[in-house]
Homo-oligomer: A and B are copies of this chain.
Amino acid sequence: MRDDAAHISSPEKRTAGPGRPRSFDEAAALESAMNVFWQKGFEATSLDDLTKAMGLSRSSFYATFGCKQTLFLRALEHYSENGIRGLKEVSETATDDPVDAMMQALSDPKGGPRGCLLVNCITELAPHDDKVAEIGRRHLENIEDLFAAAIDPANPDSVRDRASAYSSLAIGTLALRKAGLPADRIARTLKQARTVLMP
């Protein structure tokens, strides 16, 4: 994300007509790209990394996604939608304590030690990139909303602040995880914090 964002062209999709049809799945390619960004961050991901992972030639890449930045932003949106949907499901299917279940899910995401793609990107890019910051804010806000909804309605005091605290606590443990601490230790700490400190 080195400089401006002048060339944000997004080639509109063709509906039908003559010519060879597209032979790859755009959604699958986007998913693959998302995983590369998740593992390496934006700057450290090269176009060769992307085309290789997506199984596309350079030409198809640019014809389909425009440029690295726009693909990246699409990957972020895709990640956010998926993540929020997953977290909502965790909250709804939790048998015992939805707040704890959500914190556990956030602190140990499916990506493993890669952490949360959006938190990574906020750290790396948000201060210098408004669009990333905007997507990041929305994502964090959605997480807070889910916590707020999961908080026991019998105790309606300062719901927003409590939701924010739960969310921040879980997100904070991602740093521990990336620094190399084992997931089970973090899970235990989180459960303790939930039951002892933040009931």
Contacts and interface: CB of A to CB of B under 8 A. Distances in A.
Interface in A150-199: 157-158, 161-162, 164-165, 167-176, 178-181, 188-190, 192-193, 196-198
Name, among A119, A164, A171, the residue most crowded by chain B CB atoms within 10 Å (CB to CB).
A164
Interface of A: 41, 43-44, 113-115, 119-120, 122-124, 126-127, 133, 136-137, 140, 157-158, 161-162, 164-165, 167-176, 178-181, 188-190, 192-193, 196-198
A133 B188 CA distance: 22
Given A133-B178, A137-B180, A165-B193, 18 more contacts: A114-B127, A122-B175, A123-B175, A124-B124, A126-B179, A133-B180, A136-B175, A137-B179, A140-B176, A161-B196, A162-B196, A162-B197, A164-B193, A165-B169, A168-B169, A169-B169, A170-B172, A171-B175
Nearest to A169: B169
Nearest to A164: B189
Contacts of A176: 140, 164, 168
B193 A161 contact: yes
Contact of A189 (B41, B114, B165, B178): B165
